[in-house]
Amino acid sequence: MSSIDIGVFEPTSNPTNLSLNLVGAGATASDFSWTGPTTQSRDTLNAGQMILPPYDPDLDGINSYWESLHFGGPTNALPDEDTDGDGEKNLPEFIADTIPTNALSYFQISTITSTGQITISFDSPTARLYGVETSIPLGNDWSALESNLPGVGGPMSVIDTNPAAHTGYRANVRLP
C-alpha cells in the first residue's frame, strides 16, 4: 500500500480535538489544500473552507468539471445533442452521471426480481437522488414507491412489498 505526502502531519502527541483539514473555496478537490493540525470539525465544514456550487460558465445546466471530463473543455458539450447515439441527450446524461461518449452507458433499471416481493435494482452514482415509481393496473398514473434516495456509488435496490397493486416500474434520477 502506498500513500501520498500531503505536506502536513499530525504528531504522535496530537490532542484528540485536532486533525488535518482541507481549506480553500471551490467545487473540486484541486480547489483545496491541506493544513493542520487544527481544531477538528466533525460533521461540518472546516474553518477556512467554502464549498461552491459547480461552475457552469455557459449556463447550459452541465457543470464545467463534468463537461471538461467528457468533452475536453468547460463549455464543449451541447446539452440537446446525443453525442453517443444511445437515445439520451447530454444534459440527461450529466444528470444521471453516465458517460455521454459511450452508447452503452445510460441510466436504466438493471434487474427486476420477484420472490413474493419485487426488487428493482439500478446503478446509483453519488451526488444524485433516485426514486422508483409504480403504475397501477389499467392506468397511466404513476406514483412514488420511493423517492429522494441518495446515490450509494454502486448498485441500489428498492423493494415493492405489495407488487399485486402495480403493473409497471420506472426509476428516475435527479440532481440534489
170 plus 114 within the same structural domain: yes
pLDDT (tens digit per residue) in 92-124: 999 999 999 999 999 999 999 998 899 999 999
**What mean pLDDT is reported for the chain?**
88
Report helix, strand or coil for 26.
strand
Residue scoring higher pLDDT (28 or 111): 111
Distances (CA, A) of 68 to 74, 95, 155: 5, 15, 26
90, 98 contact by CB (below 8 A): no
pTM above the 0.75 mark?
no
Cβ atoms of 81 and 90 within 8 Å: the answer is: yes
Residues 121 and 154 in one domain: yes
- The SS3 of residue 83 is coil
Residues 115 and 166 both lie in one domain: yes
User: For position 55, what pLDDT does the model report?
Assistant: 81
What is the extent of the structural domain holding 30?
A: 1-52
Alpha-carbon distances of 29 from 24, 26, 82, 91, 172, rounded to whole Å: 10, 8, 29, 23, 28
**Listed residue (111, 114, 88) closest to 173, CA to CA:** 88
Q: Does the pLDDT value for residue 138 go beyond 70?
A: no
59 assigned to some structural domain: no
Residue pointed to by grid coordinates 471538461: 68
The 10 Å Cβ neighbour count of residue 63 is 19
**Maximum Cα–Cα distance across the chain:** 69
36 shares its domain with 85: no
What mean pLDDT is predicted for residues 70-88? Answer: 95
Counted domains in the chain: 3
Q: In what order do the strands lie in the sheet with 109-114?
A: 109-114, 118-124, 154-160
